[in-house]
């Protein structure tokens, strides 16, 4: 009778190598990408909300509010990310109302 023990051990070892080398890193990168897009979505909503609450101007006040909201939700604050979200808001020409109820159209940052 042929002993297949060595062949089975080799197949198990190969499977473990494939899983640890390819599958686990792929799953981690997919999770990180999804977390990044969720963070960007949350950030865009928070920046838009700050624009609506405080209106035109009031940059430092809005920045501080977004920082507080992000940290409350467990995210790390990065002012560069907030600036990028503001530029996205303006590039999309989204309408918002300032604190005085005046409708304002965000102009393109060109």
Confidence band of 65 (pLDDT split at 50, 70, 90)? very high
pLDDT digits 0-9 by tens, 4-51: 888 888 888 888 888 888 887 877 777 788 888 888 888 989 998 998
CA dist list (Å): 9 to 4, 5, 19, 22, 97: 9, 6, 15, 20, 67
Give the residue numbers spanning the domain of 44: 20-105
Does any domain span residue 8? Answer: no
pLDDT of amino acid 31: 77
pTM (2 decimals)?
Answer: 0.60
Residue 99's CATH number: 1.10.10
Tokens encoding 74: 């467990």
CA-nearest of 94, 98, 99 to 109 is: 94
Domain assignment present for 6 = no
51 lies in a domain? yes
> What's the number of domains the chain is made of?
1
> Is residue 33 in some structural domain?
yes
Least confident of 24-28, 50-54, 62-66: 24-28
Q: Is residue 50 included in any domain, yes or no?
A: yes
Question: Does some domain include residue 84?
Answer: yes
Phi, psi of 16 (to 5 degrees): -60, -40
The answer on pLDDT for 69 being more than 60 is: yes
Q: In the prediction, which pLDDT does 110 show?
A: 33
């Amino acid at each position: 009778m042929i002993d297949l023990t060595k062949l089975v051990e080799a197949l198990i070892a190969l499977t473990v190598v494939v899983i640890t080398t390819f599958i686990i890193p792929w799953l981690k990168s997919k999770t990180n990408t999804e977390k990044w897009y969720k963070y960007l979505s949350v950030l865009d909503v928070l920046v838009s909300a700050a624009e609506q609450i405080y209106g035109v101007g009031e940059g430092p006040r809005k920045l501080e509010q977004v920082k507080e909201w992000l940290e409350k939700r467990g995210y790390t604050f990065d002012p560069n990310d907030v600036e990028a979200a503001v530029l996205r808001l303006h590039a999309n020409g989204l309408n918002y109302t300032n604190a005085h109820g005046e409708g304002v159209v965000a102009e393109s940052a060109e």
